[in-house]
Amino acid sequence: MKKKLLALLLTLVMVLGLAACGGKKDDGGNQTSGGDQTQTGGDTSGGSETSTLPMGYDPTTNTEAYGPYYDEWSDMTDEQLYEQALTENTTINVYATSSKMLKEKELFEEAYPGLTLEVSDLDSDEVLNKAKTEKDTGNITGDVLQTKDVNGNVFYEWYHQGVIEPFYPRDICSHISEENLKFSFPLYASQAYWYYNTAAFPDGQPISSWWNIIEKNPDGSQKYRLFTKEIGQETAYLSLFASFVANADQMEQAYKDLYGEDLEYTYDGSVFSFPVPENNAGVEYMWRFTQCDMTFIGGGDELVQAVHNSTADDPALCLASAGKIENREESGYTIDWCKKLTPYTALLNTESLYVVSGTDSPAGARLFIRFVTGGVDGQSGGLKPFTKTGNWPLRDDFEDKKNPATLEELGAIPNDLDDIYSIYLDVQDMWLYWKMN
């Protein structure tokens, strides 16, 4: 919460400073108002430089502001953007966290002759820090960022630092659920699932709830051997546990529905220097989970292999990325996803696309974002490198032939970064303390 408030205060300082200067001028010399979220010059074709206050805060109402966020770029067609892109710096630099982005170069350059695409394959921290360094030094080279925001860091901090700005093409957004547009413009969604051994459980998955995962046998022994990555070092997994804390009422109801009785609270929050909510079912679940014996394995292939090697007499579950289901065909593993867990199976972690603030290829950057997400009708070819088992494109007009189940069938929900960001650090502290003590 402190980080969130600090980010908002920084934005207020920026807004007040802008107002004190009577606004700012764009390249055309036009005066702009410090109160408008989108400030442009007289040219509404998209050719003028646009100064955009960070999405996430609306200074005119002193409230949070979310996507979809539409401006003059949002209604420009591929043809209009292409025509303008040819008059800009025609080399478009993409900083990406997925190596699959490298496959876009040939596809994009073939579709739009005269434009050059350069892709840097980096990890998430490198993507963001590289863009931040360029902004601070005034030597902006990047044009598009592709990264994942699972705990709100990108939304609440990088927008507010003015490193990136949103782009929401209106025609494409009409094919994406608005709940998946709240914090960014998504490329695709992925998530982690619990896996079980189909040979050990031929009648179907042995669990229906997250509470089943930590059950004990009548003799007090743990019912399932648990395999996972080190959750305390995995931002996406910690964000999932933070969502349980935020959705405590759902966790409590899931327990009562499963066992027919009210949840008993056993955790002690007094050991922490920050306030821990009382009688919170998400906190209770995390406390009980940290007390389980579990084996940490860094590689997803090894995680699902451990489940494949388990038996009905010694059953195991593992938490791994959805894409590891491919080991079923490639390696003959007897594994499957656990679906429709209560209160929900997983969080949708979206890989998102952002425009770098200050880019000298503003139209080219947006043209590429449109291309890689399928273009006006989903058929640009740009989505092809990212369509694989374990990745779910979020457009309703794009046929997903790679996945054996839809997101609706799996029971994943959108990630509400508001809830996660304000408690993420506290959840991390609780996890680490309880797991080590």
Which pLDDT belongs to residue 57? 57
Which pLDDT belongs to residue 160? 79
Region 15-41 average pLDDT: 30
**pLDDT 10s digits, 245-259:** 999 999 999 999 999
Among 9-18, 24-33, 271-280, 305-314, the range scoring the smallest mean pLDDT is: 24-33
**pLDDT 10s digits, 366-411:** 999 999 999 999 999 999 999 999 999 999 999 888 998 999 899 9
- pLDDT band at residue 156 using 50, 70 and 90 as cut-offs: confident
Of all residues in the chain, what percent carry a pLDDT higher than 70? 85
Q: How far apart are CA 231 and CA 270, in angstroms?
A: 23
| Relative orientation angle of helices 235-246 and 417-436, to the nearest 10 degrees | 110
DSSP string, 4-43: HHHHHHHHHHHHHHHHHTT-EE-TT--EE-TT-SEE--S-
Q: Which residue has the higher pLDDT, 391 or 51?
A: 391
Region 111-126 average pLDDT: 96
Which pLDDT belongs to residue 38? 32
14 has pLDDT over 50: no
Q: Is the dihedral of CA 199, 202, 208, 214 positive or negative?
A: negative
The C-alpha R_g of the chain, in whole angstroms, comes to 23
Residue 327 contacts residue 301 (beta carbons within 8 Å): yes
Residue 155 contacts residue 183 (beta carbons within 8 Å): yes
Query: What does pTM read for this prediction?
Result: 0.85
51 has pLDDT over 80: no
To the nearest whole number, what is the mean pLDDT of the chain? Answer: 87
- pLDDT band at residue 59 using 50, 70 and 90 as cut-offs: low
Cis (ω within 30 of 0) for the bond into 68?
yes
Q: Which residues of 84-102 are buried (b: 16+ CB within 10 A; e: fewer)?
A: bbeebbeebbbbbbbebbe
